[in-house]
């Protein structure tokens, strides 16, 4: 009897012990599965955040895009195509995303908005620091892409500001002469655009503005209805080396392309 009782106890205890082992195994399996799901979700979330950040940095802020299109279609585009009978060639060659340096000739104060409208994306330009002291106006021009530069300060301050805009996904506009010319030609090109392109490894886009020198006649305030033509050239890769000879070579290519487009005229 005692043996039977002992065997029965053993039989009874064994299933209970087995059930306890199964419960631990199930807990362990559940823990492993949950851990796997957690790490998978964490990796997916981090990957999506990384992609989102990259996408944001490849374009201007959304509010800037809204302001750009609002200003373009309400004011700039009607004036360019109506009042100035504007023609645009090669706009399809403009990269739609990513940092970009738009280089051009310069003959009029009307050049920045005309150029930005022609390339179909916001273009950021430097503006004198005093404009950013006006409370509401400073916020508006900052959203539109302007960045402050001190007049008379070394070029490196402007270069740092431009590089910051490029890091934020903007296209920046640089006039190779640095100032207006009476005939729209580039006589002495500065190396700033090529230097920034070399440091940031960002492509350059040459654009020719034809006819803008005649918009405002000397001594007059109102713009005249003159024909304007904008021609966009092919993208030029940035110089790999940042030495002076490399910067001069790329700058010369930009100038030659702009002059070639400018010589096509109307």
pLDDT for the residue numbered 64? 87
pLDDT for the residue numbered 111? 94
Sign of CA pseudo-dihedral 197, 142, 86, 221? negative
pLDDT for the residue numbered 5? 47
pLDDT for the residue numbered 138? 82
| CA distance to 76, 200, 232, per residue, from 58 (Å) | 25, 14, 21
Beta-strand (E) ranges in the chain? 87-89, 100-104, 123-124, 126-128, 147-149, 171-175, 204-210, 229-232
pLDDT for the residue numbered 159? 83
pTM here is 0.75
Left (φ > 0), alpha (ψ -120 to 50) or beta: where does 65 sit? alpha
Are residues 239 and 250 in contact, defined by beta-carbon separation less than 8 angstroms?
A: yes
Per-residue pLDDT tens digits of the chain, which is 266 residues long: 444 444 444 444 444 444 444 666 666 666 666 666 555 545 544 444 444 344 446 777 888 888 899 999 999 999 999 999 999 999 999 999 999 999 999 999 899 999 999 999 999 998 877 878 888 778 777 877 888 877 665 567 778 889 999 999 999 999 999 889 999 999 999 999 999 999 999 999 999 999 999 999 888 889 999 999 999 999 999 999 889 999 999 999 999 999 999 999 98
pLDDT for the residue numbered 48? 44
Residue 145 CB burial class (10 angstroms; 0-12, 13-18, ≥19): buried
The residue with tokens 């903007």 is: 170
pLDDT for the residue numbered 23? 63
Residue 224, C-beta contacts closer than 8 angstroms, at least 6 positions apart: 214, 215, 216, 217
């Amino acid at each position: 009897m005692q043996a039977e009782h002992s065997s029965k106890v053993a039989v009874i205890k064994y299933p209970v012990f087995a059930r306890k082992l199964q419960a631990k195994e199930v807990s362990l399996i559940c823990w492993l599965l949950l851990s796997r799901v957690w790490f998978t979700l964490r990796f997916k979330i981090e990957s999506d955040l990384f992609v989102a950040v990259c996408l944001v940095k490849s374009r201007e802020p959304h509010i800037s895009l809204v302001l750009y299109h609002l200003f373009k279609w309400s004011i700039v585009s009607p004036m360019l195509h109506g009042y100035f009978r504007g023609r645009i060639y090669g706009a399809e060659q403009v990269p739609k995303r990513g940092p970009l340096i738009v280089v051009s000739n310069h003959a009029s104060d009307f050049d920045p908005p005309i150029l930005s409208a022609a390339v179909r994306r916001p273009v950021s330009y430097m503006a004198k620091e005093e404009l950013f002291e006006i409370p509401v106006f400073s916020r508006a021009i900052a959203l539109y892409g302007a960045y402050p530069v001190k007049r008379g300060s070394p070029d490196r301050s402007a270069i740092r500001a431009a590089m910051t805009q490029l890091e934020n996904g903007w296209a920046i506009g640089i006039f190779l002469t640095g100032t207006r010319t009476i005939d729209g030609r580039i006589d002495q090109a500065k190396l700033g655009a090529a230097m920034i392109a070399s440091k940031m490894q960002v492509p350059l886009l040459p654009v020719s503005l034809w006819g803008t020198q005649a918009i405002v006649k000397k001594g007059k305030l109102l713009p005249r209805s003159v024909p304007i033509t904008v021609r966009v050239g092919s993208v030029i890769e940035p110089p790999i080396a940042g030495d002076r000879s490399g910067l001069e070579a790329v700058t010369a290519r930009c100038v030659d392309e702009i002059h070639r487009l400018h010589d096509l005229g109307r």
